[in-house]
Amino acid sequence: MGRTSAKFSVEPLSGALGAQVSGIDLAAALDDAQFAQVQEAFLAHQVLFFRDQNLTPDAYLAFARRFGALAEYPFAKGMDSHPKITEIIKEPHQTSNFGGMWHTDTTYLPEPPKATLLYAVETPAVGGDTLFANLYMAFGALSGGMAEVLTGLTGVNTSALHSTGLRSAHLKSGSMQAKTSADEALMAEHPAIRTHPETGRRALYVNAAHTARFSTMTREESLPILSFLFDHAVQPEFTCRFRWQPGSLAIWDNRCTLHCAINDYDGHRRVMQRITIEGDRPV
Ligand code: SIN
């Protein structure tokens, strides 16, 4: 395996979050100084995008492992040859997609993944972009009063809330293989405001796909506040949008972002490879 020696550039994609990294070959081993620069950019921009990569599954896994131990998605099987890579496939006949609601990945786990990598193998000519939102900004834009209320609240996160929209209908319609445990609902409680373990910054930590209510309230009582927060967090000024091409790779920080896969390409095929990195218990 070669080593990349060229300097790379990091260009912000929007005023809110996201940066495109150019001049880097992820199939070559990055030295520690180069990886430290990537890591620094990741923490600063929250989601990094790389284009025109040519990654075998082994090279992709090797890059992902630089960020930490690899996790597994609880509801779909990984590739037979590389179980830590889950293929996210939408076939031309399918109408639902995977991840088509604003969410942070698997917040129904006690220790949700700190990061997710997504590598584009096949993309529609147009459509299938992914949106991202900055949850530091969402927290920072709250009134002092709302921030104080939320600081004392815990969100109840469940995999059963919008399973038809987010994954089950898609899994059941055939292009991805469900794990045998796929019908069991998973649930975890996390603070509504979390402190990022590496940057020390505070971020809103609720999402429309998985946060059902606050632990001390009914769903009916929670919903007016949650609905406000779900809309508040995804206002255009807090977002960026990425257009995929085969060979594009993104890595996002699940501790301070939301994302949403846009489902606007019925009749076309989209194949992505997804890896998640183990995280810790949100505090
Ligand atoms: C996901 O939510 O992990 C998938 C996002 C995408 O396919 O763009």
User: What is the mean predicted confidence (pLDDT) over 130-155?
Assistant: 98
Annotation says 219 is catalytic? no
Catalytic residue among 167, 190, 259, 270: 259
- Which residues sit with their C-beta closer than 6 Å to ligand 1? 88, 98-99, 105, 116, 118, 130, 259, 261, 272, 274
Of ligand 1's listed atoms, the one at least distance from the Cα of 274 is 3
pLDDT the model gives residue 182: 59
Of ligand 1's listed atoms, the one at least distance from the Cα of 129 is 8
Going from the C-alpha of 53 to that of each of 50, 127, 198, 241, the distances in angstroms are 7, 20, 28, 19
Task: Indicate the pTM of the whole model.
Answer: 0.94
User: What is the mean predicted confidence (pLDDT) over 259-276?
Assistant: 98
Sheet holding 187-191, edge to edge: 187-191, 154-158, 211-214
pLDDT the model gives residue 3: 44
Compute the distance between CA of residue 268 and CA of residue 129 in angstroms, rounded to an integer. 13
Annotation says 32 is catalytic? no
pLDDT the model gives residue 1: 40
pLDDT the model gives residue 183: 67
pLDDT the model gives residue 120: 98
Query: Which protein residue's CA is at the shortest distance from atom 1 of ligand 1?
Result: 99
pLDDT the model gives residue 2: 41
pLDDT digits (tens, 9 = 90+) for 66-115: 999 999 999 989 999 999 999 999 999 999 999 999 999 999 999 999 99
- Inform me whether the pLDDT recorded for 218 exceeds 80: yes
Of ligand 1's listed atoms, the one at least distance from the Cα of 97 is 7
The answer for residues whose C-beta is within 8 angstroms of residue 138's C-beta and 6 or more apart is 203, 204, 229, 232, 233, 238
- Cα of 217 from ligand 1 centre, angstroms: 31
Structural domain spans, the chain: 3-277
pLDDT digits (tens, 9 = 90+) for 156-207: 999 999 764 456 556 666 677 777 665 679 999 999 999 999 999 999 999 9
- Inform me whether the pLDDT recorded for 4 exceeds 60: no
Q: What is the CATH number of domain 3-277?
A: 3.60.130.10
Going from the C-alpha of 257 to that of each of 34, 138, 185, 263, the distances in angstroms are 24, 10, 23, 19
